[in-house]
Amino acid sequence: MMKHSAAAVALLVMPVVAMSGCSNQASKNPSTSTTSPGSSAGKLTTQLNTADGKHVADATFYFTNGYATETVETVAAGVLSPGFHGLHIHAVGTCEANSVPPSGGQSADFASAGDHFQAPGHTGQPASGDLPSLLVRSDGSGKLVATSDAFTQGQLKGSYGSSIVLHQGADLGSQSSADSDKRIACGVLSPANAASTSVSTSISTSTVTTVPPTTITETPSSTSPISSSGASTSPSTSTVTVTQTPPR
């Protein structure tokens, strides 16, 4: 009787042990989160190209937990000059060579990308779109990984869109120069809405009716004035021309 009971207990325990072993195996596998950097959600990517269309770097922005992680990496050695290159998010999602700024002014490469991006309500410096400079090695290769909480994905995807611009140099005090702000590569993060950036050229047309001048003849009353000699004078007729201004 004891042997049968012991056998029954052993049969009950074995499945539990087996299930426990499966549970331990599953716990070793990493879980996948929808907010992980590898997820396509919360992600913006672009290619940075020169004015003549040469692909020089890739940029990827991941948005998770209230901040953005930016990665900018060159795609080939020897294209960019060694040293620091300024890197900023700009306020308009266009990258046009030899273009004019949105507010007008002198044309230049990628001027259509506008000024540095500022998140709504932010006007101070550094600007919301200012990023650390990209340091290029002596062989022309470079990679930047940084984080920021100065903007959100939704803000970069607004009606004006956004772009990322690489500059010839970086304003680092003693290393600044006249060419530091020259824009040498650009990539659209989110394209601008054409309706928000186009300038309306429609002109309202009003119909103008030309009214010819109106001539009014005034005739004095029938009572003729008496001259100093006592003779009555003949009635005189005066003509007054009144010109009416056409309606606008």
Task: Quick: pLDDT tens for 231-243.
Answer: 444 444 444 444 4
pLDDT of amino acid 175 = 53
Please say if the pLDDT value at position 103 is more than 80: yes
Helices (H), 188-232: 194-197
Q: Which of 8-17, 148-157, 232-241 has the lowest mean pLDDT?
A: 8-17
3-state secondary structure 26-37: HCCCCCCCCCCC
Across residues 167-183, what is the average pLDDT? 75
Report the distance separating Cα 191 and Cα 95, nearest Å. 9
**Per this entry, what is the length of the chain?**
248
Report the distance separating Cα 166 and Cα 83, nearest Å. 13
Please say if the pLDDT value at position 2 is more than 50: no
CATH class belonging to 43-170+181-195 = mainly beta
Report the distance separating Cα 121 and Cα 114, nearest Å. 18
pLDDT of amino acid 196 = 58
Pairing assessment for the beta strands 43-49 and 130-136 based on DSSP bridges: unpaired
pLDDT of amino acid 132 = 96
C-alpha 107, offset from chain centre: 19
- Residue extents of the structural domains in the chain: 43-170+181-195
Q: Does residue 126 have a cis peptide bond before it, meaning omega lies within 30 degrees of 0?
A: yes
Across residues 154-162, what is the average pLDDT? 96
Report the distance separating Cα 38 and Cα 87, nearest Å. 24
Report the distance separating Cα 93 and Cα 133, nearest Å. 21
Report the distance separating Cα 46 and Cα 95, nearest Å. 11
Q: Give the residue, 144 or 29, on which the prediction is more confident.
A: 144
Q: Do 117 and 91 touch, CB atoms closer than 8 A? A: yes
Q: Which of 107-116, 154-163, 178-187, 208-217 has the lowest mean pLDDT?
A: 208-217
- Residue 185: name the closest of 107, 103, 115, 88 by CA: 88
pLDDT in tens, 32-88: 333 444 444 599 999 999 999 999 999 999 999 999 999 999 998 888 999 999 999
